Amino acid sequence: MSVIAMFYGIIISMYFFDNRQHSLPHIHVRYQENDAVFSIPDGELIDGTIPANKTKLVQAWIEIHRDELIADWELASQGQPIFKIEPLR
């Protein structure tokens, strides 16, 4: 697992070789005691729970950084190092 961004108490991670349970490109999001998984292509919540206001922040961040996230996904799925991505400000 590698943390790729942190903002407003939200931690965004991507796991290496993580294409078994959720075959589509996705990120893992943690906020306080909440864990969730979001699809990169459409920003949809696909697993877990997270407060609605934080969901909107994560979805906006995905929209802004979709190309970078897809590039990181390609690297991570091959077990290669991934890059940090700018947080929301």
31: left (phi over 0), alpha (psi -120 to 50) or beta: beta
Q: 29-80, pLDDT tens digit by residue? A: 999 999 999 999 999 999 999 999 999 999 999 999 999 999 999 999 888 9
8 Å CB contact between 37 and 29: yes
User: Is the CB of residue 10 less than 8 Å from the CB of residue 57?
Assistant: yes
Task: Tell me if the pTM is above 0.95.
Answer: no
In the chain, what are the domain boundaries?
2-17+24-77
- Using only C-alpha atoms, the chain has a radius of gyration, in whole angstroms, of 12
Rounded Cα–Cα distance for residues 34 and 42 (Å): 21
Which residues face 39 on adjacent strands?
26
Of 21 and 25, the one with more pLDDT: 25
